[in-house]
Amino acid sequence: MEMFIFILAAIASVACCLMVITQKNPVRAVLFLIMAFVAQAILFVQLSAVFVAALQIIVYAGAIMVLFLFIIMLLNLRKDEFGGDRHPFQKFAAVALAALLAFELVIVALRDGSRSPSVSLPENFGSVESIGEILFTKYLLPFEATSILLMAAILGAVVLAKKRLDD
Amino acid sequence: MDWTFLIVKLIQVIAVFAVLLTGCAYMTWLERKLVARIQSRLGPMNAGYQGLLQPVADMIKLLFKEDITPKHVDKFIYGIAPLASFIPATLSIAVVPFGDSITLFGRTYDLVISNLNVGILYVLAITSIGVYSIIMAGYSSNSKYSLLGGLRSSAQMISYEIGMGLAIVVVILLSGSLNLVDIVDKQGSFVGWYVFRNPVAFVVYFICAVAETNRSPFDLPEAESELVAGYHTEYSSMKFGMFFVAEYANMITVGAIATTLFFGGWHGPFLPPIVWFLIKVAAFQVFYIWARGTLPRLRYDQLMSFGWKVLLPIAVINVMVTAFFVL
């Protein structure tokens, strides 16, 4: 049963990601990206990271992608405008990077593919308490640094929005 | 796989969804009746006693109407938008506990479809997914009213989601748990209800929830005089019906979650737990309709500034004060 759900979610995730890069219509591409995020959230649930799955949907699928959609819809990109100015080396770079990634994947799969996770998970693995605890003890500095970065971004957004109103 | 467990769960799922969908159908009847009373009319009277069969008649009418797809719509997105609104609307009810645990064949079952450890986060996640149906319907319909209605209502939903989340944070602080079953258990006695311990959070939550479900007085996406019918202007037949059912399902879900978070869930004297739960949820529905019948619609800029400049600061201060007292 778990295997079946995993295969379903994995296929959906890969298929949606493929649709994202092959779709000509940007709004459809964003919708497929959302579906890919949801499929990946299912994979997180299967890895007993329920909290991360919930955040994945709330933050990525729920909040960030709505803004993506808004911007794309308001800019109203037409098909001929979309992807007009391509960098000449874009295709070669893409192929090279994809080949590198595939190479790495094959190596990892050959090395660890047959090995099943032997370590049993601790009792409260992936729970909100354990993640909160580790964020505020072991990773306190990165956590605070991130919050300062986000604060700066919010202030920057407010300043930019205000300036436009004054003109 | 344990078969009795599976069968009991299956029965639970079917029963909950049957009640939810019947509830949606009769919400339309209740709404028409109550609004009619508020306006000194009778409302539907002809189909059955006091118009009780009206929802059935409406459903048959919707099913047999011609399904019109306008020209130049994005057919794929246009087709799945009603589904994308209907499915999230019915999904959140899965984590709401509607009764005490019962013992059957020597095993105890919680009267909740899924006793999830991150229940509240699940509800928030499903709510945030619900926005897409509106954006999709607005974008794909190829109509200016749909697009403007969709943009308005999604902006509204995103804005009010933040206030709703902060009001829920207060409940999490008070109960120390994200599990809805635990939250209900912690509000055992009448005085322990979180609506009495922190009324501000409840008021913020409920206002945000009304805005979130696009109901009056925040029903700007459907402001007839400006936008015809907003994002579902171009929809007809059962596709429109799905948006319609989703709206009522959302209202019932909001009532059920408000009951769980602030009104002690199924706790109550004398009557069985499920009855208490249904009474509380029904009270919320009446309140919804009452608000619709008596309050005028807000203007769009008023709505946005109210959300960001009034509700959000109140919610933030409330979280800080509550955190101070809890710590």
- Integer Cα distance of B145 and A58 in angstroms: 28
Q: Average pLDDT, stretch A58-75?
A: 82
pLDDT at B271: 75
pLDDT at A137 over 90: no
The tens digit of pLDDT for each residue in B238-276 reads 788 888 888 888 888 888 888 888 887 777 777 777 888
At A163, is the pLDDT very low, low, confident or very high (cuts 50, 70, 90)?
low
- Asked if residues B179 and B115 have their Cβ atoms less than 8 Å apart, the reply is yes
Query: What distance in Å separates the CA atoms of residue B37 and residue A133, rounded to the nearest whole number?
Result: 55
User: Distance, in angstroms, between A117 CA and closest chain B CA?
Assistant: 23
Whether the per-residue pLDDT at B103 is higher than 80: the answer is no
Between B24 and B146, the higher pLDDT residue: B24
Q: Is B136 on the interface with A (CB under 8 A)?
A: yes
What is the C-alpha separation between B62 and B43, in angstroms, rounded?
A: 19
Q: How many residues does chain A have?
A: 167
The top-scoring range by mean pLDDT among A5-14, B52-61, B150-159, B226-235 is: A5-14
For residue B128, the chain A residues in CB contact (below 8 A) are 57-58, 61-63, 66
Residue A34 with chain B: CB contacts under 8 Å: 132
Give me the residues of B, 234-273, that contact A with CB < 8 A. none
Mean pLDDT, residues B181-210 taken together? 82
Q: CB of B253 within 8 A of CB of B93?
A: yes
Q: Which is nearest to B136 in space by CA: A77, A38, A66, A56?
A: A66
The label of the residue with tokens 């407010």 reads: A158
What mean pLDDT is predicted for residues B84-95? Answer: 86
Facing residue for A54 by CB, picked from B118, B135, B161: B118
* Angle at alpha carbon of residue B16, lines to B15 and B19, rounded to 5°: 85
**Rg over CA atoms, chain B:** 20
CB atoms under 10 Å from CB of B146, counted, come to: 28
The answer to whether residue B279 scores a pLDDT higher than 90 is no
Where in chain A are the domains?
1-80, 130-167
Q: How much is the pLDDT for B142?
A: 75
How far does the CA of residue B11 sit from the closest CA of chain A (Å)? 20
Q: What is the mean predicted confidence (pLDDT) over B128-155?
A: 80
Q: Is A33 on the interface with B (CB under 8 A)?
A: no
pLDDT of residue B27: 87
- Tell me whether B76 touches chain A (CB under 8 Å): yes
Q: What is the mean pLDDT of residues B68-77?
A: 78
Whether residue A79 is predicted with pLDDT greater than 60 in this model: the reply is: no
What residues of B are in contact with residue A27 (Cβ under 8 Å)? 74, 77, 139
Instruction: Choose among B219, B227, B224, B75: nearest CA to B148.
Output: B227
Q: Residues of B numbered 147-206 whose beta carbons fall under 8 angstroms of chain A's beta carbons: which are they?
A: 147, 151, 154-155, 158, 161, 178
Asked if the Cβ–Cβ distance from B118 to A51 is below 8 Å, we say yes
pLDDT score, position B192? 73
Q: Mean pLDDT across chain A, nearest whole number? A: 81
Q: Six-digit token pair at A62?
A: 């729920």
Mean per-residue pLDDT for B105-126? Answer: 78
Closest Cβ opposite residue B125 in set A62, A66, A69? A62
Question: Which chain B residues contact residue A45 at CB under 8 A?
Answer: none
The yes-or-no verdict on residue A138 having pLDDT over 80 is: yes
Q: At residue B301, does pLDDT exceed 60?
A: yes
CA distance A116 to chain B (A): 22
pLDDT top residue among B279 and A124 = B279
Q: What's the average model confidence in pLDDT over A87-103? A: 86
Tokens for A156, please give them: 């920057």
Q: What is the pLDDT of residue B225?
A: 65
Contact residues on chain A for B139, CB-CB shorter than 8 A: 27, 69, 73
* Domain range list for chain B: 70-326
What is the model's pLDDT at position B44? 81
Which band of pLDDT confidence, cut at 50, 70 and 90, is reported for residue A151? very high
Q: How far apart are CA B130 and CA B135, in angstroms?
A: 9
In which band, very low, low, confident or very high, does the pLDDT at A97 lie, cut at 50, 70 and 90?
very high
Residues of chain A with C-beta less than 8 angstroms from the C-beta of B76: 28
Q: Which two tokens stand for residue A134?
A: 């580790």
pLDDT score of A78? 58
pLDDT at A125: 72
pLDDT for B224 = 65
Three-state SS annotation for B139-202: HHCCCHHHHHHHHHHHHHHHHHHHHHHHHHHHHHHHHCCCCHHHHHHHCCCHHHCHHHHCHHHH
CB contact under 8 Å between B178 and A66, yes or no, is no
pLDDT digits (tens, 9 = 90+) for A52-64: 888 888 888 888 8
Residue B315 structure tokens: 């919610």
pLDDT at A153: 92
For residues B286-291, average pLDDT: 87
- Percent of chain A scoring above 70 in pLDDT: 82
Chain B CB contacts of A61 under 8 Å are: 125, 128-129
Q: How many CA atoms lie within 13 A of B171 on its CB side?
A: 34
* Distance set, CA A82 to CA A24, A77, A86 (Å): 8, 6, 10
Alpha carbon distance B188, B208 (integer Å): 26
Q: Which of A28, A57, A128 sits opposite B129 (nearest CB)?
A: A57
Q: How confident is the model at residue A1 (pLDDT cuts 50, 70, 90)?
A: confident
Give A51's contacts in chain B (Cβ within 8 Å).
118, 121
Binary contact (A66, B158; C-beta < 8 A): yes
**SS3 of residue B103 by DSSP:** strand
**pLDDT higher than 60, residue A109:** yes
| Closest CA relative to residue B149, chosen from B158, B138, B141, B157 | B138
Q: Which of A48, A58, A64 to mutate to test the interface with B (most CBs of B within 10 A)?
A: A58
For chain B, say whether A161 makes contact (Cβ under 8 Å): no
Would you say residue B64 has pLDDT above 90?
Answer: no
pLDDT, residue A89, reads 78
Confidence of residue A100 (pLDDT cuts 50, 70, 90): very high
Band of pLDDT at residue A148, cut at 50, 70 and 90: very high
CA distances from B141 to A35, B15, B136, B146 (A): 21, 35, 8, 6
Q: What is the pLDDT of residues A4-44, one digit of tens each?
A: 888 888 899 999 998 888 887 788 888 889 889 989 888 88
The better pLDDT of the pair B159, B105 is held by B159
Q: Does A1 touch chain B (CB under 8 A)?
A: yes
Q: What is the pLDDT of residue A165?
A: 54
What is the predicted pLDDT for the residue at A120?
67
For a pLDDT cut of 90, what percent of chain A falls above it? Answer: 16
pLDDT at A167: 54
Are residues A70 and B151, on separate chains, in Cβ contact within 8 Å? yes
Structural fold of domain A1-80: Four Helix Bundle (Hemerythrin (Met), subunit A) (1.20.120)
Q: How confident is the model at residue A150 (pLDDT cuts 50, 70, 90)?
A: very high
User: Which residues of B fall within a CB distance of 8 Å from A69?
Assistant: 132, 135, 139
Name the residue among A54, A62, A69 with its Cβ closest to that of B135.
A69
Distance separating alpha carbons of residues B234 and B67, to the nearest angstrom: 10
Q: What percent of chain B has pLDDT over 70?
A: 94
| Nearest neighbour of A58 by CB, restricted to B124, B132, B155 | B124
Query: With 60 as the cut, is the pLDDT of residue A81 above it?
Result: no
In this predicted structure, the answer to whether residue B126 has a pLDDT above a threshold of 90 is no
- Cβ distance of A55 and B131 shorter than 8 Å: no
B231 touches chain A (CB under 8 A): no
- Average of per-residue pLDDT across B101-107: 68
